[in-house]
Structure 1
Amino acid sequence: MLTHKQLRYFVDIVDAGSFSLAAERLFIAQSALSRQIKEMERHLQVPLLERDARHLEMTPAGRSLYGDARRILAALESAAIGARHAQRGIEGTVHLLHSSSVPLTHGLLECLKKHAQRHPGVSIEVSQRASEYQAMDIEQGNADVGLAREPVLRRYPGVQQSPLFSESLVVAVPATHALAGRERVTIAELRDEPFVATPHLERGGLSHRVAELCRAQGYHPRSAQVRSRKWSQLALVQAGFGIAIVPESMGRMAPEGVKLLTLDGDDVRTTVLVLWRSEDASRLAQDLVASLRAV
């Protein structure tokens, strides 16, 4: 029988994209992870992962197990939280996802604070999840509410979405960059710049929006040597690896050594969406969505 630990290790390896990064995040030896996966494959009598020195990919059996493992782990976590909350008299938990490009700004935190004050028996579990995966997690019951960047490319019939707010996009450049002396710049002027977060039309959220703007100017963004699609992209800008186009709210949290430039052009904005299950959403989830939409 597969254990909870093995399922967790398998999901963490897939999410990290490599054994070495998963081992680093889990603070265990890479060899220990390899042994656990080999034991799972021996028990199931099917290969789960195809791997070489530079690449990791799930087999068909691995993809099947990954989806089921995420649901099982989420259900176990929910059951554990529910038991603890029942003992303490807490009404329930709402699982809220947000992408790395939707930071928990003062406005959102104030909204959550007021919501918690109005619902003292409800706890809110906040996790970070890429925009393109949030709808899937909500559809599968692994989360209740999501905050994602438009567009969400893969739609699920059981998941509803509504715009929350829109904001301007800005350009983050190193303080030593040739453009740092400017206050404004256009998309066209960034044609030859390396992007530390490579925009892509096949991805949803911010990545798609930036790729769309660049394509309208007749080019595909050039990738920097070191890249990240997460919050760490601003640290890469600070270190001088390249530039990034980010929402204004995210730019305001940039570290020292990063200069923000106003992005000129038509419709250089991005929209934040709230996602939730359209038919069988719990009352707790519906209440949180209502609070968010009222901001």
Structure 2
Amino acid sequence: MISLKQFRYFVEIVEAGSYSRAAEKLYIAQSALSRQIKELEDELRTQLLTRDARQFELTPAGHLFFERAKRILEEIDDTVVQARHVGQGAQGVIRLQHSSSVILTPQITAALALLLGEFPGVTLDVSMLPSENQTLEIEEGRADIGLLRLPTLRRHPHIHVRQVTTERLMVAVSRDSPLAALDNVELAQLSDQAFISIPHKDRGGLSYLVANLCLEQGFFPKPARALSRKSSQLNLIEAGLGIAIVPECMRLTAPAGVRFITLAQGSLTTSVGLACRREADPLVAAFADRLVHTLTEAIP
């Protein structure tokens, strides 16, 4: 029978990149680790790793097993955390995710603090995940509430997305860029610029919105040689590798070498949505409803 220990050992080997590093982290002998993986493969009746004296490679079955095993372990860990909180008297853990472009601004954190006061038995488990991934995580029960950039392209029948905040878009550039001296720029003026973030063909969110705005001006964002859809794009911009159109909230976490320029006289905006299951647990549904109300009421 396959054991939970073997799941953990296999995932650790793949993530560590070698048997020796995994053995050191797990505090077991490398020979014992190898024996556990051999027993796992025997039980599965298939090879997961091809290995020689120095390295290993995942077989197709190994790739599948790694992804599924990692997800199972994450769900087990999450179940343990929730059970511990319930055992300590908490009413429940609400798993809240936000995308890298939905920064936890003072407005959002103040709303969360207010709600935690109203829901004394709730504990929040906050993590970061791309917008499109959030809806899938909520659909499949691995998350409860998501704060994401609209629009979302994938449609999940059990997910309800409500708009909660709107903010203006700005152009983020290196302080050494000629654009940094401008107070305002029109979108059409950026047609020759290299964009750090361009849309993924299967994802919505901020980059998808920006690409559509550019197309309305007759051009598609020219990709920079270094691309990122994460908060790390600001570091690439600081290094002079390109520009990005971002929500104004990203000024809060920008490095010193990034300048923000008003775009199209502040007329272009982006929205944040709150995603939740349509038939969520009553506690989650009540918390989500109050969060939507609190954030929409806070809009100036």
Partner Cα distance (1:264, 1:224) in 2? 22
TM-score using structure 1 length: 0.80
CA contact (8 A) 1:97 1:127 kept: yes
Q: How does 1:71-110 map to 2 (within 5 A)?
A: 72-110=72-110
Matched, 1:283 2:282: yes
Residue identity in the other structure for 1:144: D
Share of identical aligned residues, percent? Answer: 37
Matched, 1:5 2:14: no
Pairwise CA distance, 1:132: 0.9
Consecutive unaligned residues in structure 2, runs of 5 or more: 51-56, 296-300
Residue identity in the other structure for 1:79: T
Q: Look up the match of 1:137.
A: 137
Partner Cα distance (1:224, 1:49) in 2? 37
CA contact (8 A) 1:74 1:142 kept: no
Pairwise CA distance, 1:115: 0.9
CA contact (8 A) 1:8 1:73 kept: no
Partner Cα distance (1:44, 1:215) in 2? 51
Pairwise CA distance, 1:89: 1.4
CA contact (8 A) 1:144 1:285 kept: yes
Partner Cα distance (2:262, 2:49) in 1? 45
Q: RMSD across aligned C-alpha pairs, in angstroms?
A: 3.3
Partner Cα distance (1:275, 1:194) in 2? 32
Matched, 1:292 2:288: no
1:205-230 deviation per Cα after TM superposition (whole angstroms, max 9, x unaligned): 11111111122222222222222211
1:115-153 deviation per Cα after TM superposition (whole angstroms, max 9, x unaligned): 111112110000100001111000110000001111111
Change (3 A) 1:143 1:7: farther
1:163-202 deviation per Cα after TM superposition (whole angstroms, max 9, x unaligned): 1111111000001101110011122111121112223454
CA contact (8 A) 1:199 1:221 kept: no
For the residue of structure 2 that corresponds to 1:154, the secondary structure is coil
For the residue of structure 1 that corresponds to 2:229, the secondary structure is coil
Change (3 A) 1:120 1:266: closer
For the residue of structure 2 that corresponds to 1:235, the secondary structure is helix
Q: How does 1:1-295 map to 2 (within 5 A)?
A: 1=2, 3-6=6-9, 8-9=11-12, 44-45=44-45, 59=60, 62=63, 66=67, 69-70=70-71, 72-264=72-264, 268-279=268-279, 281-294=280-293, 295=295
Consecutive unaligned residues in structure 1, runs of 5 or more: 51-55
Partner Cα distance (1:265, 1:64) in 2? 52
Change (3 A) 1:7 1:228: farther
